[in-house]
Structure 1
Amino acid sequence: MKGKSTGAKRRKYDASFKDEVLKMIHNGRPVSEVAQSLGIGENLIYKWKSRTNSSQQPAIVGKGDNAGSPEDQQALLKRIRELETERDILKKALGIFSRQT
């Protein structure tokens, strides 16, 4: 038996649409609100978000040719990784210290 035939087709989203959705999330809008307003599933947005976070080189937003040299971009990426590590450590410490004993 081959795959199920439910009659519903999968919708495909282009990269620019995904980027716009992720920008909305990054700007503070709740995932549930964005998903409902666009008619897409929350899980799909979380999947896009995790794929973006797990990529080796996050996109650096720049203004055309003024985005900086590759060395500047590498330095920014290194600083981003350092800040993310510091944030994760602080989150863990907060969890440890806020435990009720």
Structure 2
Amino acid sequence: MGKEDKRRHFTREFKRNAAELVTEKGMPVGKVARELDVHPNLLHLWRRSLLKEGDKAFVGKGHARPEGAEIKRHRKELEKVKEERDILKKALAFFPRQSK
């Protein structure tokens, strides 16, 4: 039998609402964490993420932020250009240099 994933997964709305209880309503983190049955450190993490990123917080599993996707695309393109450069360097070694 395979191991079951014991981690709980929370929706974007749940995280946002939980973090807003602390930031906007001023409720204590410990009380909110007990009521929602989550660890206080997790609630602190959600709160920091909401304060830092606002509407872009909690994009979800497997969904890259637009900035991250662009960086990933540039890195892939850079790797391709490096490979092409290396191929050209090796090809130059096979052709004799012409002297004038």
TM-score range, shorter chain: 0.3 to 0.5
What is the TM-score when the length of structure 1 is the normalising length? 0.46
What is the TM-score when the length of structure 2 is the normalising length? 0.46
Look at both structures and tell me which one has the larger radius of gyration over its CA atoms: 2
Larger RCO: 1 or 2 (CA < 8 Å, sep 6+): 2
